[in-house]
Amino acid sequence: MSPPQPLVDQFQRRITYLRLSVTDRCDLRCAYCMPERMTFLPKKEVLTLDEMHDLALGFMARGITKLRLTGGEPLVRRDMMDLVRALGRRIGNDEGHGHLQELTLTTNGTRLAEFADELRAAGVRRINVSLDTLDRATFARLTRRDSLPQVLEGMAAAKAAGLEVKINTVALKGINEHEIADIIAWAHGQGFGVTLIEVMPLGEVEEDRIDHYLPLMHVHDDLSRRWTLTPSAHRTGGPARYWDVAETGGRLGLITPLTNNFCEGCNRIRVTATGQLYACLGGNERVDLRAALRSDDPDRALAEALDTAMRIKPARHHFAIDERGAAPALARHMSMTGG
């Protein structure tokens, strides 16, 4: 039998990075991400942790070397650490299923204090924490929960556990634009990296995103007047482009899905907690991996589904926020697809 073929799409992009959502549920309600009264998926529709493990092994056999666990908030899922430990054993370990070079996690940080040591012990070395403000009142307004102290405690615990922490900050006009420099300076002072992200038009929310869309080219220009920003060759496998900040001694990443499309170098696919593979965050092209896993011949069905995904992955997304009252680019929320 010939070995499984690497995942290469029709544009000859090699896919090596899987973002796997373990749940659509979250203990925060960020205003740009979801409505206050969010309807979550019935638990019976969500893959079991064993199915997620089998799915991850199938991806590794096809050349996936980096796996990021996302949500929703991944750490709210019961027994989540069982999956982390099982996947962590695949790091650098090739027993016919391929192997991982890196297992990472994106979290809102509310439960990091509880799990930081376990994550490190399981093989996680680097995490992303979503944090858009250091002001408690602004945090409560944005997330609709007064949880900033728990997030700060969680990041401190992650640092103490020896995890590399990178903060993801969505740049929001009129909300946090005045404190972006302060967030960067604080984070670099803690030894954390920072990546700024443009708000993405995914799912219906109560506010019009055009009111808070802040192009990062403007932020970069403002920061350049304050600090010395030097382009960096640093890459993590994701879409961010990095700058070294001379005055803080830290690194700043920018993710610009709206103002500077980065799709030509895309190496990523996303799988939802229900096993739907979305070939592009900004598209509706998908294949049903849950049906493949639960079929009579899951290995064959999964292989065929992944081949289909490579054929339908589009050249680029078409995100835009340029018209008041416009419907979101896609109806599904970010928490469903995986952050």
CATH assignment of the domain containing 216: 3.20.20.70
The answer to the question of residue 9 being in a domain is: no
More confident: 222 or 332: 222
What DSSP state is assigned to residue 326? P
Work out how many domains the chain is built from and give that number: 1
Position 333 scores a pLDDT of 46
Range of the domain at 253: 17-337
> Which parts are annotated binding residues for S-adenosyl-L-methionine?
32, 72, 130, 200
Element (H, E) at 239: none
The answer to the question of residue 12 being in a domain is: no
Position 1 scores a pLDDT of 53
Of 13-17, 167-171, 214-218, 293-297, the poorest mean pLDDT is in: 214-218
Give the rounded percent of residues in the chain with a pLDDT score beyond 90: 66
The answer to the question of residue 10 being in a domain is: no
> Which parts are annotated binding residues for [4Fe-4S] cluster?
26, 30, 33, 263, 266, 280
Position 339 scores a pLDDT of 54
The answer to the question of residue 230 being in a domain is: yes
More confident: 62 or 206: 62
**pTM of the complete model:** 0.87
The answer to the question of residue 5 being in a domain is: no
The answer to the question of residue 6 being in a domain is: no
The answer to the question of residue 1 being in a domain is: no
Angle subtended by helix axes 148-160 and 112-122, to nearest 10:
30
The answer to the question of residue 7 being in a domain is: no
Cβ neighbours of residue 289 under 8 Å, at least 6 residues apart?
55, 271, 275, 276, 277, 302, 305
> Which parts are annotated binding residues?
19, 26, 30, 32-33, 68, 72, 106, 130, 166, 200, 263, 266, 268-270, 280
